[in-house]
């Protein structure tokens, strides 16, 4: 068998030895994959700074959260189905199909005439976006050996994390300069370019065998995720936690999870094979994915609100002020990827990253109304590096621990748990923020009385310009209320970072394979040469 890093006849070093790909070929493929990743990640956060304008144009303030939740809901629910279908029928077709669905949803969302239409088309976007994200990680698993995969997944992690932070900046800029509709239209040229690039440079083998797809299992997991998210979105806001609606949804969610487990145990070709959970790497990585998504989307997503409400900057300015967080994520993600490829070990990075997250969330909880920006920037860098060290390693560990025939399913499952963590975390921390705002405004603005919750909602959806027109005492009280509330949000994030640290400590370390693909009958540790997947 050829050695890792063998030089081809043309002089280009092949990643993974004979039959592998050159760095240039991989980077060509990665260009299309990164465009897809950019589409999926950007649309999870780009709407946040445009929401007040959208509500002003379309109305429907009481449905505001669904503009974000609808996307997260459908993208989470379809992820396991994409993974299974890609294992059966090939990744490229599913990847391009997901892009097309996403672009159709984007175009329709930009044309929406009311809030109901926008929510429906955001859900359609999510069906495409969930597939894009899952397929990107699975395709990297096809073409790059685990030993070298860290640095390439580090690039993808940097794109994902940067898009998550720059999304509010892009949304604010497009809304300020053109129209909120362009936060959806901007996806069209990027997506079309991604389709062209992947059509030209991405050549993946297609499985021609006939298979049965577990559509019942897919429906059950979708229904379970939907009811669970409804509990976290509605609980304590639309309905009291002890209401019959929330209790009923909770019971339904538990029942649907049980039905899904029963179905997967009986299905000939399950969407999520239960045997995967016997793999300790997969089980720990899935749990870490849920917790990291919970922390990333649940807590960090509210930093733009802090910058706008407390510091009084514009949506564009809030994105610029988050650059230290982005730089930290990029440094952690790319740096850990490069070091994993050199060391051949991955376990130390999520351990260090989770420990830094514990400290980072505590630092973020120290933000006050007059904290110097350079201090805030330093705290954000620490938090960003912690996230960067943790985000992609769990995917790499999972792909290295499963056989090739389960690559797409396992990758999509870890992605599914991370996205679900993000969706639940967003509503969980949002509930904490609004509830604490209600309490703090009641304390600091006694005259608000029963209208404190309405004031809290108005503060969450307001703009710096609107805030500046409030009477000085009221303005100061709202800012102090927001600072105190955000303090509690980040303190609540610390226990989840601690759980992530404990999981990282028990994550098994397995030798990284030096070839991209393992034969369908092989164990993960066995090697064989990878077929040429890209044309020069």
What pLDDT score does 151 carry?
A: 62
State mean pLDDT over 323-338: 80
What pLDDT score does 210 carry?
A: 56
Q: What is the mean pLDDT of the chain?
A: 75
- Res. 5 pLDDT band, cuts 50 70 90: very low
Alpha-carbon separation of residue 86 from 4, 397, 407 (angstroms): 27, 20, 9
What pLDDT score does 533 carry?
A: 36
> pLDDT tens digit string along 491-506?
888 888 899 899 989 8
Give 53-59's long-range contacts (Cβ < 8 A, gap of 24+).
Answer: 53/175, 53/180, 54/118, 54/180, 55/115, 55/461, 57/180, 58/112, 58/113, 58/114, 58/115, 58/118, 59/114, 59/115
Instruction: Please count the CA atoms within 13 angstroms of the CA of 433 that sit on its side-chain side.
Output: 28
What pLDDT score does 251 carry?
A: 93
| Higher pLDDT among residues 281 and 435, named by residue | 281
Q: What residues does 7 pair with on adjacent strands?
A: 13
Query: Is the pLDDT confidence value at 359 over 80?
Result: yes
The total number of residues shown for the chain amounts to: 536
Exposed/middle/buried for residue 115 (C-beta within 10 Å: 0-12, 13-18, 19+): buried
Alpha-carbon separation of residue 54 from 49, 50, 362, 427, 462 (angstroms): 10, 6, 34, 20, 12
> pLDDT tens digit string along 45-57?
677 667 667 766 7
State mean pLDDT over 52-68: 65
Q: What residues does 426 pair with on adjacent strands?
A: none
| Higher pLDDT among residues 484 and 199, named by residue | 484
Query: Is the pLDDT confidence value at 262 over 70?
Result: yes
Looking at mean pLDDT, say which of 73-87, 246-260, 384-398, 475-489 comes out highest.
246-260
Q: What is the dihedral of CA 261, 264, 270, 273, to 10 degrees?
A: 60
| Higher pLDDT among residues 404 and 21, named by residue | 404
What pLDDT score does 371 carry?
A: 84
> pLDDT tens digit string along 95-112?
888 889 999 999 998 888
Query: Is the pLDDT confidence value at 531 over 60?
Result: no
What pLDDT score does 18 carry?
A: 42
What pLDDT score does 108 carry?
A: 93
> CB–CB of 433/485 below 8 Å?
yes
Q: What is the pTM of this model?
A: 0.71
- Res. 298 pLDDT band, cuts 50 70 90: low
Worst-scoring range by mean pLDDT, 124-128, 415-419, 503-507, 517-521?
A: 517-521
> pLDDT tens digit string along 170-223?
777 787 778 888 888 888 888 888 888 777 776 665 555 455 667 788 788 878
Query: Is the pLDDT confidence value at 326 over 90?
Result: no
> CB–CB of 15/143 below 8 Å?
no
What pLDDT score does 400 carry?
A: 77
Q: For residues 398 and 401, what is the distance between their CA atoms, to the nearest angstrom?
A: 5
State mean pLDDT over 410-425: 77
What pLDDT score does 60 carry?
A: 56
Query: Is the pLDDT confidence value at 255 over 90?
Result: yes
What pLDDT score does 107 carry?
A: 92
What pLDDT score does 446 carry?
A: 61
Return the structure tokens found at 215.
């559509």
């Amino acid at each position: 068998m050829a050695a890792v890093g063998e030089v081809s006849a043309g002089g280009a070093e092949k990643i993974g030895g004979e039959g592998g790909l050159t760095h240039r070929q991989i980077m060509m493929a990665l260009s299309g994959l990164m465009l897809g990743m950019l589409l999926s990640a950007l649309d999870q956060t780009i709407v946040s700074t445009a929401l007040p304008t959208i509500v002003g144009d379309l109305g429907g303030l009481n449905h505001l959260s669904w503009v974000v939740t609808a996307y997260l809901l459908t993208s989470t629910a379809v992820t396991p189905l994409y993974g299974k279908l890609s294992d059966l029928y090939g990744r490229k077709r599913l990847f391009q199909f997901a892009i097309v669905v996403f672009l159709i949803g984007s175009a329709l969302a930009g044309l929406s005439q009311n809030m109901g239409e926008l929510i429906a088309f955001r859900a359609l976007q999510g069906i495409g976006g969930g597939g894009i994200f899952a397929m990107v990680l699975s395709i990297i698993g096809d073409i790059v050996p685990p030993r070298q995969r860290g640095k390439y997944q580090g690039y993808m992690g940097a794109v994902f994390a940067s898009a998550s932070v720059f999304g509010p900046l892009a949304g604010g800029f497009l809304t300020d300069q053109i129209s909120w509709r362009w936060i959806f239209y901007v996806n069209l040229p990027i997506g079309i370019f991604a389709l062209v690039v992947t059509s030209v440079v991405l050549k993946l083998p297609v499985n021609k065998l006939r298979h049965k797809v577990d559509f019942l299992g897919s429906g059950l997991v979708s229904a379970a995720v939907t009811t669970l998210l409804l509990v976290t979105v509605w609980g304590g806001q639309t309905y009291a936690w002890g209401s019959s609606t929330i209790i009923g949804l909770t019971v339904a969610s538990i029942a649907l999870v049980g039905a899904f487990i029963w179905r997967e145990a009986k299905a000939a070709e399950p969407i999520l094979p239960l045997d995967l959970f016997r793999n300790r790497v997969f089980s720990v990585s899935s749990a870490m994915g849920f917790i990291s998504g919970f922390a990333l989307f649940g807590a960090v997503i509210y930093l733009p609100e802090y910058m706008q409400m407390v510091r009084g900057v514009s949506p564009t300015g809030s994105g610029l002020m988050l650059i230290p967080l982005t730089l930290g994520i990029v440094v952690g993600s790319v740096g850990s990827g490069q070091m994993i490829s050199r060391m051949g070990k991955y376990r130390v990075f999520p351990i260090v990253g989770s420990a830094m997250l514990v400290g980072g969330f505590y630092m973020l909880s120290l933000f006050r109304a007059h904290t110097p920006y350079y201090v805030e920037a330093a705290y954000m860098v620490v938090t960003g590096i912690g996230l960067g060290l943790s985000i992609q390693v769990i995917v790499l560990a999972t792909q290295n621990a499963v056989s090739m025939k389960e690559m797409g399913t396992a990758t999509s499952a870890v992605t599914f748990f991370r996205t679900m963590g993000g969706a639940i975390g967003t509503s969980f921390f949002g509930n904490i923020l609004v509830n604490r705002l209600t309490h703090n405004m009641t304390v600091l603005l006694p005259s608000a009385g029963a209208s404190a919750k309405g004031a809290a909602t108005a503060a969450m959806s307001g703009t710096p310009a609107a805030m500046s027109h409030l009477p000085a005492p009221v303005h100061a009280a709202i800012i102090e209320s927001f600072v105190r509330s955000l303090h509690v949000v980040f303190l609540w994030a610390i226990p989840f970072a601690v759980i992530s640290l404990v999981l990282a400590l028990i994550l098994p370390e397995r030798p990284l394979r030096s070839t991209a693909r393992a034969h369908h009958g092989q164990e993960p540790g066995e090697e064989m040469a990878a077929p040429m997947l890209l044309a020069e």
